Amino acid sequence: MYKKIVFPLLAICIALNSLVVNSQERVRLGTPISEADLEGFDLIAEPDGSGFPSGGGTARQGKAVYDINCAVCHGANGEGTSGNTIIVGGDMQSEGPPLRTVGSYWPYASTVFDFIRRAMPATAPKSLTNAQVYQVTAYILFMNGIIGEDTELNANTLVNIEMPNADGFVDRSHIHSIE
């Protein structure tokens, strides 16, 4: 009785084992990722000026970039086509719920550049050149009345732009989690 059960079980185990080995042989482990492939992921431009590419651009140049790549979702003048695509105007001092936009809410201009470079246009992120990102960032800041049409935006000038709501945040970075 005992042998009658063990032998079929053993046969099944051997059969299963060979299946597993075969499927392992077929696993494609791929090739190591190259430095070149990693480019485009390591994109962090910070308010301290680090991480910005060379080059620059103005709002006057950025209008064409915006009209072609952004207006379809953000409206011809940044008025948006839905609640979360409004990028011009807004008010943080209103009696009712504030309308937060790049212009009214974001504390650093560098974040506008950083966000656009990595995430926009939403349908084709990272498809713009660095020059185009500078230009269209300038255009959005210009539409918000923050810089002039011919203000050159580059690694140096970007971090010196005073955003309207720069003082609207409370620094709580000194508070650590309770242990």
**Residues found near ligand HEC in the complex (CB under 6 A):** 69-70, 72-74, 84-85, 87, 101-102, 112, 115-116, 120-123, 128, 136
Q: How far is the CB of 118 from ligand HEC (least distance, A)?
A: 11
> What is the CB neighbour count within 10 angstroms for residue 83?
7
Q: Are the C-beta atoms of residues 119 and 111 closer than 8 Å to each other?
A: no
> What is the CB neighbour count within 10 angstroms for residue 141?
25
Q: How far is the CB of 74 from ligand HEC (least distance, A)?
A: 6
Q: Which residues contact 163 (CB under 8 A, 6 or more apart)?
A: 106, 107, 108, 109, 146
Place of tokens 């009712």: 96
> What is the CB neighbour count within 10 angstroms for residue 125?
13
Q: Which residues contact 24 (CB under 8 A, 6 or more apart)?
A: none
Q: How far is the CB of 33 from ligand HEC (least distance, A)?
A: 27
Q: How far is the CB of 79 from ligand HEC (least distance, A)?
A: 13
